[in-house]
Structure 1
Amino acid sequence: MNTQQEKTGRPENRWGILVLLALGLMISFVDRTSLSSALADHHFVTEFSLSNIERGWLGSAMFWSYGLLQLPMGWLVDRYGVKWPYAVCFLLWCLAAAATGLMTTFYGLILMRLLIGVAEAVVVPATYRYLANNFDETRKGTALGIYSIGGKMGPALGAPVAAWLISVSSWSMMFIVTGLAGLLWLAPWLRMLRNDFPDRQELAQRRKRAATVPLRNLLISPVVWGGMVNNFCYSYFTFFCMTWMPAYLVEQRGLSLQDSGLYTFFSFVGIAAVAAWAGWMADRLIARGRDAVKVRKSFIVAGFLGGTTVLLGVHADTVQTALFWNIVSLSLLGLVTANNLALVKLTLIPKPAVGLNTGLQQVATSLAGGVSASLSGWLLHLGHGSYTLPMLAIFLFLLLGAASAAFLMRWEWAPKVSEEASAEAGEIESPVAAELHLQQR
């Protein structure tokens, strides 16, 4: 039971808040990926005279500021709670997303994307802090499967909605509408979630807890570095689909902008459905006594290898075959989603370090977004408009992710809790340490 529950005696509706967190993630992805439809719009590209390289930089801008703020946001939510940091940042990114539609210069667009990245940096560290406090190991996969649906439905819904708004109005109105519509989420968030902002005594205790797993212990752990590799490789593919897939379908496969949004929708619905199923199935196997790390690793490796079928799509002779492999490859990557999130951000991580480690992992995720958008633009330039080189890069990164999961995700390589600092803070044994002791008996 957390501190706020102890004060009020009333438990929170944790599953209801989980749905809100999934919706918040969905809105963040709508606001970060609405740009992809604009980048596929001839009027938008012409108005700003964008080259392929400039399109890549514009698509990547949000991820650079997003990555820089991950560690500070992890530190913030570990100490100051989830409710108010998330609410303030949510308001900021929605306003910046809407203001994108008012920009008249390339550098104005870049500035708004950077602001969106700064504010959205709170989303994942805050979510994992809440999940660590409210869900045990046999429910983590299910909870993360539900949560991850938001991340997939964001681009799944955002792409066709943004394309439709552009077709019936303009790229400018699309940004304004999608940005302001998200503000409706704030009312239930402020109403349902208790104020977990700490008083002076609670803040001192949280500082002591955080000190039990210092940053150095995270940085020397192979699990943490393996998790960063996993997150980079997974996110490289998904962010390519968010930033470049509509343009690929329009420019290389000859689809209309609206049809490209529709097929992007199917791809992300596929990964969302598979992610939810895989998280639930892994939880069931773990509840029956299977080793949590081995179960989740198996799903992760299978998902990375399944995603490599994306290369079959780029070499397909027909549009129908290409679209089939685009949908199948991203859907199979869903085997990775919830299980990777659980393994590298919760299962193998001591509870006091969840926020800080999540910030580290999100640095890799945001780096993948920046590299994917800009590197794909550069490879597209080298290939004279062909998407073969960008797809080959995805294939290689997915193989790297499978190898990282197979060899680096081990109980004994998890970050260590400082015993001296833990005793001083009055902490109980970490879940990782408890599991290792059970294995040694």
Structure 2
Amino acid sequence: MTINEPTVQVEAQRPPADEPLIKRRPTKIRWKLFVLLLVLVTLNYVDRGSISVAMPLIQKEFNLSPEVIGLLLSAFFFAYALMQVPAGWLIDRFGARKMVTASCVGWGLATAACGLAWNFASLFTARAAIGITEAGIMPSGGKLNATWMPQKERGRGATILDAGAPLGAGLGGLIIASLIALTGGWRGAFIAVGIVTAAFGFVAWWYIRDNPRLHKSVNEDELAYIEASHAEEDAKAEASKGAGRRGLLPYMKYRSFWSMCFGWFGFNGVFYGLLTWGPLYLSQAKHFNLAAVGWGTFAIFGAGFVGELLGGFIADWWQTKGASANMVMRTLLGISSLIVVLGLVGVTLVSDPLTAVLLLSAVLFFLRWVGLFWSIPALLGGRTNAGILGGAMNLSGNINGFITPIVVGLIVGATGGYTWALLYFVGSAVIMAVSVLTMDYSRRLPV
């Protein structure tokens, strides 16, 4: 999974002159840790996207209009966005391990509570509780990427972490649709996935550590490999006065900080728009039944999962070949933005359901390259400030997560169709494109 990872030479005991030095391979616990994070983020998106798959049934049971559906879909994002900066501060203060564990248990219980809702207000409250409790998971992943990964591997670390979003959204469509059929309703599906998620909180506590030296399975060779990269980063940061713990305010005078925030804002306008309204679009505009909605959602977001992993691999590989960070990131993310815009415009022009699914799959494949953004908090603020910067980035993105479901609900209610909603997504993609092309990816901010 790594590229050009060196064999580290160590002298545990100095050998006789006629014996060669022992060659050991570094352990790869950092990659196993990120596979666990991938699983946790996948569960995260199964849970947060479950309501969209079940929405045709919920809409019928509670007699909800499109405008009210938009408000319900936004409940999660409103609470989630408000908690991002506080969660980032808590991560920097108390560590990612505690925050990930508490987050998993909390949002699992809140998801199960959705299955007990008896009206709009109770379901809205339970969805908001999921937003509050999930707030720490992605900034924690950004923090762990900073503390566990050498700089040249953070592109893959970021995309493995963030790839759980499209994977969970894709699998969620199949899982929730299957559980609805198995349990006879949407309530049992929510309770089942909530219990499983809460149980994974204890797995997170067992395996995650806040830095590699605290993990008993990491050998000295892997530690040396990681810490050598960190020492080089720290030396550069000292030279540019970019080391030490900072609040959020000093970063706000830099263009790259705002490019990070607006890039994630635009990205989430597209992704969360498709996550929340995509299943209803397939059901209402393309006349898919529940099983077809599940498979269509899986195809669209599954393509995003594959694309995200590929984007992270290409970014790290290209940089190991000597390309500058600005060349790699601006090229990859610029290409992805262009294809996303063109693909969304194409969806508005086609009537065939299969063609629409194929175009949306291409959109998600390239959109998820922007998951590389989860390497940016560590780039701009170093390991010490990665939590709070990740929180600020995710706050900006989830402001659009809150706005988008409401706006789409108003558009669908007013027009009776999805064309203008898709054009709204195009506008978000343009904001993303401008941001990824104006950021400086080459240096830590000297605050």
| TM-score of the superposed pair, with normalisation by structure 1 | 0.84
Alignment counterpart, residue 247 of structure 2, candidates 214, 220, 234? 214
Amino acid at match of 2:265: F
1:365 aligns with 2:381: no
State yes or no: 1:178 paired with 2:193: yes
Are positions 1:61 and 2:75 aligned together? yes
Task: Say whether 1:302 aligns with 2:335.
Answer: yes
**Is there any run of 5+ residues in structure 1 with no aligned partner, and where?**
1-9, 197-208, 418-441
Shift of 1:408: 3.3
Residue 416 (1) aligns with residue 446 (2): yes
Query: CA–CA distance in 2 between the matches of 1:136 and 1:297?
Result: 21
- Contact 2:100–2:204 under 8 Å retained in 1: no
Distance in 2 between residues matched to 1:137 and 1:85, nearest whole Å: 24
The whole-number CA distance in structure 2 between the counterparts of 1:415 and 1:289 is: 22
Deviation of 1:195 (Å): 6.9
* Structure 1 stretches of 4+ moved >3 Å: 209-212, 408-412
* 2:61 corresponds to which of 47, 52, 72: 47
Task: For structure 2, list consecutive stretches of 5 or more residues without a partner in the other structure.
Answer: 1-25, 212-241
Q: Does the alignment pair 1:381 with 2:413?
A: yes
Whether the 8 Å contact between 1:95 and 1:180 is mirrored in structure 2 is yes
What is the match of residue 26 of structure 1?
42
* 2:414 partner amino acid: L
Distance 1:284 1:210, change over 3 A: closer
Q: How many residues align?
A: 390
1:213 Cα offset (Å)? 2.8
8 Å CA contact retained: 1:313, 1:324: no
Partner of 1:322: 356
Partner of 2:168: 154
Matches within 5 A, 1:243-392: 243-308=276-341, 309-338=343-372, 340-342=373-375, 344-383=376-415, 385-392=416-423
Is the Cα–Cα contact under 8 Å of residues 99 and 137 in structure 2 kept in the other structure?
no
Question: Aligned equivalents of 1:314 and 1:298: distance in 2?
Answer: 27
Matched position secondary structure for 1:108? helix
> Which residue of 2 is the match for residue 229 of structure 1?
262
Q: Could you list the per-position Cα deviations for residues 366-391 of structure 1 after superposition, in whole angstroms to 9, with x for gaps in the alignment?
A: 112111111111111121x2100100
Check conservation: 2:66, 2:410, Cα contact below 8 A.
yes
- Call closer, same or farther: CA 1:112–1:210 in 2, change over 3 Å: farther
Secondary structure of the residue aligned to 1:350 is helix
Counterpart CA distance in 2 for 1:297 and 1:239 is 23
Deviation at 1:11, TM superposition (A): 8.3
Whether contact under 8 Å (1:89, 1:122) holds in the other structure is: yes
Of the structure 1 ranges 359-368 and 306-315, higher mean CA displacement relative to structure 2 is found in 306-315
The CA distance in 1 between the partners of 2:192 and 2:203, in whole Å, is 20
| In structure 1, distance between residues paired with 2:79 and 2:117 | 19
Tell whether 2:47 aligns with 1:13: no
Q: Return the offset for 1:320.
A: 2.2
- 2:60 alignment partner AA: T
Conserved in 1, the CA contact under 8 Å of 2:256 and 2:440? Answer: yes
2:207 aligned partner: 192
Which deviates more from structure 2 when the two are superposed, residues 349-358 or residues 210-219?
210-219
The amino acid across from 2:276 in the alignment is: T
Calculate the TM-score normalised by the size of structure 2.
Answer: 0.83
Name the % identity. Answer: 25
In the TM superposition, residue 60 of structure 1 has moved relative to its aligned partner by 0.7
Counterpart CA distance in 2 for 1:334 and 1:125 is 17
Contact 2:307 2:364 in 1 (8 A): no
TM-superposed deviation, 1:210: 8.7
Q: Distance in 2 between matches of 1:149 and 1:195?
A: 21
Q: 1:373 to 1:210 in 2, by over 3 A?
A: farther
Residue 81 (structure 1) aligned with residue 113 (structure 2): no
* Rounded Cα–Cα distance in structure 2 between residues aligned with 1:147 and 1:410: 20
Which residue number in structure 1 is paired with residue 15 of structure 2?
A: none
CA offset at residue 362 of structure 1? 0.7
CA distance in 1, matches of 2:245, 2:387: 13
Indicate the residue corresponding to 1:111 in structure 2: 125
CA contact (8 A) 2:170 2:300 kept: yes
Paired residues of 2:167 and 2:304 also in contact (CA < 8 A): no
Aligned equivalents of 1:95, 1:371: Cα separation in 2? 26
Q: Which residue identity lines up with residue 396 of structure 1 in the other structure?
A: G
- Superposition deviation, residue 355 in structure 1: 0.8
The CA distance in 1 between the partners of 2:56 and 2:177, in whole Å, is: 9
For residues 11 and 325 of structure 1, the distance between their equivalents in structure 2, rounded to whole angstroms, comes to 41
Q: Which amino acid aligns with 1:415?
A: L
Deviations 1:302-335 (A, max 9, x none): 1111111122112203222222212112212133
Asked whether the 8 Å contact 1:213–1:350 carries over to 2, the reply is no
> Which is worse superposed, 138-147 or 57-66?
138-147
